[in-house]
Each structure stands twice: as C-alpha cells, then as structure tokens.
C-alpha cells in the first residue's frame, strides 16, 4: 500500500498533504487482489466480505485531473456560452454514492459526482501549481527509521574502494525503504554506479582535503607529485594520494 501511495503521488506531482487519500485508496485496491484460501480456491478480500465479485469498472487512476460537470453557479444556472465543467482532482470513490469524490483546490471543497471526464494530458499537480515532495514516507510504530538517515548524505564526497587507488565520487542517491544501504554515486567522468555500503566500499572524505602526515624517512627518489600510499597502525584503511611540499617545506599527502 505504501508503494502504491508513493507512486500515485509521484505520477500526479502532488505533495504529501494528499497522503491520506493515497493510502485509503491503496487499501481499497488491495482488497481486489486475489488470494488463495486453505482449500485451494482463489478469491478476494472484497468477495469474502460482500459475497460478490468486485466490479473492475470502478477502477480509475488515482489523483487524475478531471473535468466535473456543473449546471449552476450558486443560484444562477449556466447558459450555453459558460464553461460547463470545473477542473478538480479525483481523490477516491464516494462512500455515499456510485460516483467519485473530487477535491476542488480553488475553494478547498469536496464534490461527489457521476458526471465527469478524466484528463490524461496533464497532471493534477502541474494544473493547480502543487509541488511534488519526494521522499514521502510512512512508518510503523515498531519500525526503525535509521535507514532514512543515510551515513553519506546527498552531495557528499566519498572514496570508492573498489578501485586502486580509490576513486573520488559524489553521492547522488541515498538508501530508500525498498533498497536499504544502496548508494548511487557519480564519478568525475560522468558515469554513475550503485554500491552496497557494507563498511568497506565507501568512505566519507573529510572536509579538510589536505591532510598533513609526518613522514620521518623518505627515499631520495621521492619528489613532489609522486603517488604514495600511507598506512598507519591507527588507520583502518590505507590512504592513497600524491606527495608535495607546502610552504613550510613539510611533506603533505593530498588525497586523490
């Protein structure tokens, strides 16, 4: 139900304020899904409760933009030159009639009608100026939300240890409810890859890009710009970079 609700909001470009209607409609649709009983027969939750097969003609695309017919404005009837319809958003089936329930953003009212035409050329969010809010989630009370607090935030710089030396990449996608621990990164050449963060592949690059390291003894052939690998007992992973001398003539390791 959660996946269905998210997809409806995304396809209609609507904010999370419509979340209730998305989940409610998803629950209704799930009652139409076939299930197998212990005796091997297939049925639906709707049929088990109402003792009749569901009518698939009542299915429609949730949050569709609809042109709902009107005959009057207040107490005045419309003439043939006036607009006979009002644009609204289909939010579900009406519980008190055979029509659909529509929301009118112009005056924040709900209307039940059986005289309408669904529009497929534009989304309801774009029609009424709504802004889609990506990352809308709903949690169970017994569920941990730490998966949505990524270790590597969006736009952060990380080292990818699947290469030697490790390559620098930018995080462009964080884990989701369906794909925990999957990060999407973009490399400098424009390529994009996905990695499962198991504690050994990705490493966050600190804000300080130049990390000075004291090197007591260096061979005579070491020169500025030479590739080097540093591994100390206090480090969990080796550091790859280039050596150069700063203004104090101290050797500094610059991460790649």
Cα separation, 136 vs 10, in Å, equals 10
Query: Is the domain of 108 the same as that of 88?
Result: yes
Terminal-to-terminal C-alpha distance of the chain: 45
Query: Is the domain of 108 the same as that of 198?
Result: no
Query: Is the domain of 59 the same as that of 16?
Result: yes
30 in any annotated domain = yes
> Concatenated DSSP letters for 220-245?
TT--TT-EEEE--TT-SS-EEEEEEE
Query: Is the domain of 97 the same as that of 123?
Result: yes
- In order along the chain (256 residues), what is the average pLDDT of each group of 10 residues? 87 88 91 88 89 84 89 71 84 86 89 88 87 60 49 85 84 74 85 81 69 51 73 76 77 74
What are the beta bridge partners of residue 126?
Answer: none
Query: 120: closest CA among 162, 42, 73, 60?
Result: 60
What does pTM read for this prediction?
0.50
Query: Is the domain of 115 the same as that of 89?
Result: yes
Query: Is the domain of 30 the same as that of 121?
Result: yes
195 in any annotated domain = yes
Query: Is the domain of 218 the same as that of 238?
Result: yes
Query: Is the domain of 192 the same as that of 229?
Result: no
User: Domains in the chain: how many in total?
Assistant: 3
Residues 6+ apart with CB under 8 A from 196: 181, 182
| Residue carrying the six token digits 């400098």 | 188
pLDDT of residue 144: 44
Domain that holds residue 250: 210-255
> Concatenated DSSP letters for 64-98?
-EEEEE-SEETTEEP-TTS--EEEEEEEEE-TTSS
Residue 91 in contact with residue 99, Cβ under 8 Å?
Answer: no
């Amino acid at each position: 139900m959660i996946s269905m609700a998210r997809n409806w909001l995304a396809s209609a470009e609507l904010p999370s304020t419509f979340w209730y209607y998305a989940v409610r409609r998803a629950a209704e649709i799930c009652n139409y899904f076939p299930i197998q009983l212990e005796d091997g027969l297939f049925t639906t939750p709707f049929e088990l409760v109402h003792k009749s097969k569901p009518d698939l003609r009542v299915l429609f695309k949730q949050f569709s933009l609809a042109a709902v017919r009107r005959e009057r404005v207040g107490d005045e009837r419309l003439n043939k030159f006036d607009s006979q319809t009002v644009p609204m958003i289909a939010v579900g089936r009406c519980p008190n009639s055979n029509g659909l329930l529509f929301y009118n953003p112009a005056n924040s009212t709900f209307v039940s009608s059986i005289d309408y035409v669904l529009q497929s050329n534009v989304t309801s969010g774009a029609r009424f100026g709504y802004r889609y809010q990506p990352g809308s989630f709903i949690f169970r009370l017994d569920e941990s939300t730490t998966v949505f607090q990524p270790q590597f935030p969006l736009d952060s710089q990380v080292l990818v240890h699947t290469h030697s030396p490790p390559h620098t990449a930018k995080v462009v996608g964080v884990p989701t409810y369906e794909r925990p621990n999957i990060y999407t990164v973009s490399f400098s050449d424009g390529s994009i890859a996905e990695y499962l963060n198991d504690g050994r592949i990705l490493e966050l690059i600190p804000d300080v890009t130049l990390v000075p390291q004291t090197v007591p003894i260096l061979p005579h052939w070491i020169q500025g710009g030479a590739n080097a690998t540093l591994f100390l007992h206090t480090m969990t992973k080796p550091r790859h970079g280039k050596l150069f001398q700063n203004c104090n003539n101290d050797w500094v390791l610059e991460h790649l």
